[in-house]
């Protein structure tokens, strides 16, 4: 679990005590219990409640229905709880339901409740230059850049970050998450037309300790998500994906990024064309809703409550037409660094890596970087050169040395001949 003490979520769902409050069909809960019992074998009401994240009154109601249908066999009692297993008929029915879908985790929330929760938890950011400087304190960022980032972040609309490669566009985008000081509740799964869409993803969602015992356990407290996707982005990642083997739908990237940030890194380098991606998102960026489709044709609406950051070293006009660029209100140019900023970055890098450098090392490295027709200093140069110096040191069985000769050696490895 992540260690983080945020402001609690504005959304506080109570624990459902009946099916009206639960919001999903009773038949779906029956299927979940059948599949869970097939997996666990020997069960109790308390155990099923924990596994499916349901209250005992709801589990007990389905238990009584299953008992009346002779789908279970009671084996005994543990205190006030029953111990039971599936009957032969129950195992047969559970097997049939398992062939359709293997999902046996937390009971999903309704699409209607997911819409409401996402809207209530929409980010409301209050930042100024001082708070932004603190958020980006591990980067060398000038006041002019901060003053562009501030209004863009407050607006919570899409941002186009562009400029020469190697000057920290992705680093800036990833650190935007630091302006959020609250947590959000994310459902484990969402139900649509009796289908289960798995939403919570431990790869992209960071769970937090939650000592609230009166919250609906079908939701998990997390940091606001930040999902970064680069050249691997393909059209199918933006649509519903059905796993044929398990019968479970996986939520698309933009749904997992709701109430957070979605960074499209190296925009224009994806396998899908920029025009296809932008056309796919014209409506979501404009109206804050997206439309998805189940495999058998049922179409439904989801919230698009995410701040999309496009990061690219290509010209915006080469990637999108005027109609789309108009929908991206914030366009921030990240220019090459000047000499003072380069020296400050250099100083931070050598200090962090505990490398002894001569007083004029930063100036000498600047000259190396501007040789052979190169006209711009890049923010990445100091760290990249120091990485090479460290590798040279390990190769020769010593620590990194920053002399003029060693910097020449590292630069000759780093820069391609013109």
> Which token pair is 78?
């543990």
> Which token pair is 221?
């407290």
Average pLDDT over residues 359-383: 92
Average pLDDT over residues 153-173: 91
pLDDT of residue 9: 66
CB count within 10 Å of CB 128 equals: 11
Q: For the ranges 3-7, 162-166, 250-254, 407-411, which has the lowest average pLDDT?
A: 3-7
C-alpha span between 314 and 317 (Å, rounded): 9
Q: Could you report the per-residue pLDDT of 40-59, keeping only the tens digit for each?
A: 999 999 999 999 999 999 99
CATH number of 339-414: 1.10.8
Q: Answer whether 159's CB lies under 8 Å from 203's CB.
A: no
CA 137 to chain centre: 23
pLDDT of residue 1: 43
Torsion of CA 89, 92, 95, 99, to 10 degrees: -120
Domain positions in the chain = 25-105, 115-333, 339-414
Q: Could you report the per-residue pLDDT of 303-335, keeping only the tens digit for each?
A: 999 999 999 988 887 887 777 787 788 999 999
pLDDT at 393 over 60: yes
Mapped onto helix, strand or coil, the DSSP state of residue 160 is strand
Question: What share of the chain in percent tops pLDDT 90?
Answer: 77
pLDDT of residue 7: 64
Residue 40 to residues 103, 371, 395, Cα–Cα distance (Å):
13, 68, 54
Average pLDDT over residues 392-410: 93
Q: Could you report the per-residue pLDDT of 104-144, keeping only the tens digit for each?
A: 999 999 999 999 999 999 998 899 999 999 999 999 999 99
CA atoms within 13 A on the CB side of 300: 21
Sort residue 168 into left (φ over 0), alpha (ψ -120 to 50) or beta. left
CA 109 to chain centre: 20
- What sign for the dihedral angle of Cα 284, 286, 289, 295? negative
pLDDT of residue 384: 95
pLDDT at 5 over 60: no
CATH number of 115-333: 3.40.50.300
CB count within 10 Å of CB 356 equals: 11
Helix locations, 235-338, DSSP H: 253-256, 274-287, 316-319, 322-327
In which element (H, E) is residue 228 found?
A: strand 226-229
Q: Could you report the per-residue pLDDT of 232-286, keeping only the tens digit for each?
A: 999 999 999 999 989 999 999 999 999 999 999 998 888 888 888 888 888 898 8
pLDDT of residue 3: 44
pLDDT of residue 269: 85
Considering the chain, what is the average pLDDT of its residues? Answer: 92
Fold for the domain defined by 25-105: Arc Repressor Mutant, subunit A (1.10.10)
> Which token pair is 200?
């919570």
C-alpha span between 289 and 283 (Å, rounded): 7
> Which token pair is 79?
């205190």
C-alpha span between 52 and 108 (Å, rounded): 9
pLDDT of residue 358: 86
Average pLDDT over residues 183-202: 96
pLDDT of residue 219: 97
pTM: 0.89
């Amino acid at each position: 679990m992540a260690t983080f003490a945020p402001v609690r979520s504005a959304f506080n769902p109570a624990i459902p005590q009946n099916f009206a409050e639960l919001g999903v069909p009773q038949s779906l809960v029956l299927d979940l219990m059948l599949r869970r019992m097939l997996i666990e074998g020997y069960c109790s009401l308390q155990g099923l409640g924990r596994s499916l994240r349901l209250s005992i009154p709801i589990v007990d109601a389905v238990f009584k229905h299953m008992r009346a249908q002779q789908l279970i066999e009671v084996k005994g009692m543990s205190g006030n709880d029953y111990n039971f297993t599936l009957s032969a008929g129950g195992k047969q029915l559970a097997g049939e339901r398992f062939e359709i879908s293997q999902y046996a985790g937390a009971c999903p929330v309704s699409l209607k409740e997911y819409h409401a929760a996402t809207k209530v938890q929409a980010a409301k950011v209050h930042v100024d230059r001082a708070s932004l400087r603190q958020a980006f304190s591990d980067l060398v960022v000038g006041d002019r850049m901060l003053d562009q980032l501030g209004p863009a972040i407050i607006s919570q609309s899409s941002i186009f970050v562009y400029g020469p490669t190697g000057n920290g566009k992705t680093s800036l985008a990833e650190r935007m998450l630091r302006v959020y000081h609250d947590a959000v509740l994310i459902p484990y799964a969402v139900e649509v037309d009796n289908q289960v869409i798995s939403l919570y993803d431990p790869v992209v969602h960071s769970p937090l300790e939650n000592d609230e015992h009166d919250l609906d356990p079908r939701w998990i407290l997390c940091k606001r998500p930040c999902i970064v996707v680069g050249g691997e982005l393909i059209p199918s990642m933006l649509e519903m994906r059905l796993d044929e083997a398990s019968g479970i739908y996986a939520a698309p990237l933009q749904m997992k990024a709701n109430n957070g940030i979605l960074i499209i890194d190296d925009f224009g380098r994806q396998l899908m064309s920029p025009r296809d991606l932008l056309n796919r998102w014209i409506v979501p960026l404009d109206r804050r809703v997206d439309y998805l489709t189940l495999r058998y044709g049922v179409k439904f609406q989801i919230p698009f409550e995410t701040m999309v950051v496009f990061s690219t070293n290509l010209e915006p006009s080469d990637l999108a037409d005027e109609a789309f660029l108009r929908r991206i209100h914030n366009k921030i140019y990240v220019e090459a660094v000047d000499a003072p900023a380069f020296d400050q970055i250099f100083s931070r890098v050598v200090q962090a890596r505990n490398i002894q450098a001569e007083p004029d090392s930063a100036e000498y490295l600047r000259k190396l970087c501007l040789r052979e027709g190169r006209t711009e200093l890049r923010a990445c140069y100091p760290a990249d050169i120091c990485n090479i110096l460290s590798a040279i040191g390990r190769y020769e069985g010593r620590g990194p040395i920053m002399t003029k000769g060693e910097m020449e050696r590292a630069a000759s490895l780093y820069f391609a001949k013109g």
